Structures are given as C-alpha cells and as structure tokens.
Amino acid sequence: KKRIRYQIWVINQDDRNRFNRAALINTGFLLARRFGCTYMAMHDVDLLPLNFDLDYSYPHEGPYHVAAPWLHPLYHYKTFVGGILIMSNGQFEKVDGLSTRYWGWGREDDELFRRLKDASLEIKRGTDVKTGPRDTFRHLHDSKRRKRDYARIGEQKKVQWQRDTQTGLSSMPGFYRVKSIVNLTIDGYLAKMVNVEFLCDETKTPWCVHSG
C-alpha cells in the first residue's frame, strides 16, 4: 500500500551451534544485495508490527530505528538499536556489518551501536508514531524454549562488552555455508527461506557450542 518495493528473506540457522543473530543478518544482507536490494530492514522474526504508520522506506538521512526504545515492548534503554533497524547498503558496509563473535542471545546489537557511533552514522527514529510499547508491536519471544542461548560462558562474559574489530561482513567468506533456499508464500506474500550453517571455531569463540 505504501508502494515500497521489497523482498522478504528469512534466514534460518541450520546447525548445532548456538544462535548467532549477527551472522544471520550478515548472511541476509549479502544475499539480498546480490538479488538487487539497495537497503535492508534487519527484522527480528518475533517482533510483529501492528501500526501501519511505521516507516520502512529508504533511510536517506541515516540508519532508521523502527523499534525505537519508547516503542519496543521490552527494551527501553536509549542506546538500544535492536528489534528492527533499517540501513542502506552503503551504511551497512561502512560499519562492516555486525560482529559474529556473539553466540547466544543478545549484545550484538549493543556492539552495533558502537560501530555506528565510530562511523559517525546518526541513528534516526520516528517521533510521530501515535502508539506506544503496548500496541506498536506484538512480541512473541519465549526465553524458556532456548535456555542455552542465554548462558554466558567463560571469556564470553568479558568480551561481550568489548568493541570487535576482527569480525563482520569482511570475515563472512568461509564462515557461512548456504545449505538450501526455499521459496515460500506467507499470507499471500512471496519469501525466500535460506537454511544456513556457520563455522564454530572453538579456538576463537569456545562459547559457540553449549549443551546446557
């Protein structure tokens, strides 16, 4: 209805490692760029928009945070950039994507905030949305289903607060392998689901596997 051309990519981690949201986003960006996309909405699959006035257009003025802290159902701190963040190809490339050393849930978006700041990219947020944290999104996250992804193991507790200059888009070659791409129709909308596996190098990030 808003006349925005789009593609829907669902990136599914199909391996035995812990969840790596950053690597999923980097993979989605690389594939979508190859298929002609000029910008990307990094979109948590468990955060469903309810307000039609949310803006998904091209982020001309800088990275645009759709799930602003005053709109997200759970996270309200001012440096939060997770949930749904829109970046142009150039903006995402400028920060070298997301750090892939964050195995398990959380912190990769906090590290992304530091990348944006270091790159002098100002985060834009909408101030004219009339809904609030209770009625802008539906949040379907269930932390009890994947308890192992919430654990902080060994050195992970320390490095989760550090700026990563070693991994990102530039380190993706050899880090991921696309196993299959499946065409889907969701409520009448075409989508591509990509099943992907990631390299777990326990010498660098021993917390990429956890049996708990």
Query: Which tens digit of pLDDT belongs to each residue from 16-74?
Result: 999 999 999 999 999 999 999 999 999 999 999 999 999 999 999 999 999 999 999 99
pTM here? 0.92
> Taking the CB of residue 120, how many other CB atoms lie within 10 A of it?
8
The H-or-E segment that residue 197 falls in is: strand 189-198
Helices vs strands, H then E, count in the chain: 4, 9
pLDDT for the residue 160: 73
Q: Which residues contact 43 (CB under 8 A, 6 or more apart)?
A: 84
Query: Strand, helix or coil at 206?
Result: helix
pLDDT for the residue 103: 92
What does the block give as tokens for 115?
A: 């990348």
pLDDT for the residue 63: 98
> Taking the CB of residue 169, how many other CB atoms lie within 10 A of it?
19
Cα–Cα distance measured from residue 78 to residue 82, given in angstroms and rounded to the nearest whole number? 11
**Positive or negative CA dihedral for 33, 113, 115, 148?**
negative
